[in-house]
């Protein structure tokens, strides 16, 4: 029997985080996990091989390319694209199963919480949730979720960054994304390493630049072939 839900995990040198991420995902007949490695130089491939549920693939480096490869191999009717530093609890899997069984659900993402729960990271997460609710623009660390038929109709992810934002903007032409709860816990390591203002500024600049491209051209960027 084919699973109802496919979790697709693009990875690159994520061995230190991967075991904790996979440990949250319990084997179930309606669930498959597809890990797509982009050429890791650490023990990522071996760590993934220790989990009984994980189907491992290799693909050219690039998150969009890797996620498209995972989607091609997926058998589930609902695709969930999970980052290696985001944690899914049983409540998240229950929400995904409800979405898979809901004929009115087309696409969505989870609300966001950042770890560690420092005041600055809580403020950034609130901003991300505000952007998701009011603008309908969640990012990839919120676990993008699409019905398989819709993902295929969109042509998958672009092979250039920001691949998550590009997909969401194209998706808005067809449906309204549904924001699911509880919030998914994602690592705040990027903000801690590169700085709060610099990292958030780059994110908002990427959003503004991408929206400007959409406003001044009718040509979509090159998409991956599914």
Q: What whole-number distance in Å separates Cα of residue 103 and Cα of residue 82?
A: 22
- pLDDT for 9-47, tens place per residue? 999 999 999 999 999 998 788 999 999 999 999 999 999
For residue 151, the surrounding DSSP H or E stretch is: helix 148-154
Which stretches in the chain have pLDDT values below 50? 218-226
* Range 5-216 has CATH code 3.90.550.10: yes
Give me the pLDDT at residue 222, please. 42
**Cα torsion through 119, 121, 122, 126, rounded to 10:** 140
Q: Which of 174, 96, 182, 172 is nearest to 138 (CA)?
A: 172
pLDDT on residue 53: 84
Q: How far is CA 33 from CA 48, 197, 211, in A?
A: 10, 34, 33
Cα angle for residues 168, 173, 174 (degrees, 5° grid): 95
**What 8-state DSSP symbol labels residue 142?**
G
Predicted local distance difference test score (pLDDT) of residue 214: 57
**What integer pLDDT is reported at residue 224 of this predicted model?**
45
| Residue 29 CB coordination number (10 Å) | 9
- According to the model, what pLDDT value does residue 33 have? 96
């Amino acid at each position: 029997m084919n699973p109802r839900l496919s979790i697709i995990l693009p990875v690159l040198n994520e061995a230190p985080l991967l075991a904790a991420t996979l440990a949250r995902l319990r084997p179930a007949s309606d669930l498959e996990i597809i890990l797509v490695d982009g050429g890791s130089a650490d023990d990522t491939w071996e760590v993934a091989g220790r989990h009984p549920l994980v189907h491992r693939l290799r693909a050219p480096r690039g998150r969009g390319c890797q996620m498209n490869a995972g989607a091609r191999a997926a058998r589930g009717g609902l695709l969930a694209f999970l980052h290696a530093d985001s944690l899914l609890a049983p409540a998240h899997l229950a929400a995904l199963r409800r979405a898979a069984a809901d004929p009115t659900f087309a696409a969505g993402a989870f609300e966001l919480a950042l770890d560690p729960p420092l005041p600055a990271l809580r403020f950034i997460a609130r901003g991300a949730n505000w952007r998701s609710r009011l603008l309908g623009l969640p990012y990839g660390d919120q676990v993008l979720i699409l019905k398989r038929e819709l993902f295929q109709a969109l042509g998958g992810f672009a092979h250039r960054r920001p691949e998550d934002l590009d997909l969401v903007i194209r998706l808005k032409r067809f449906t309204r994304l549904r924001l699911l709860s509880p919030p998914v816990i994602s690592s705040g390591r990027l903000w801690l390493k590169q700085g709060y203002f610099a990292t958030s500024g780059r994110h908002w600049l990427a959003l503004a630049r991408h929206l400007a491209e959409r406003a001044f051209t009718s040509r979509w960027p090159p998409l991956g072939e599914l």
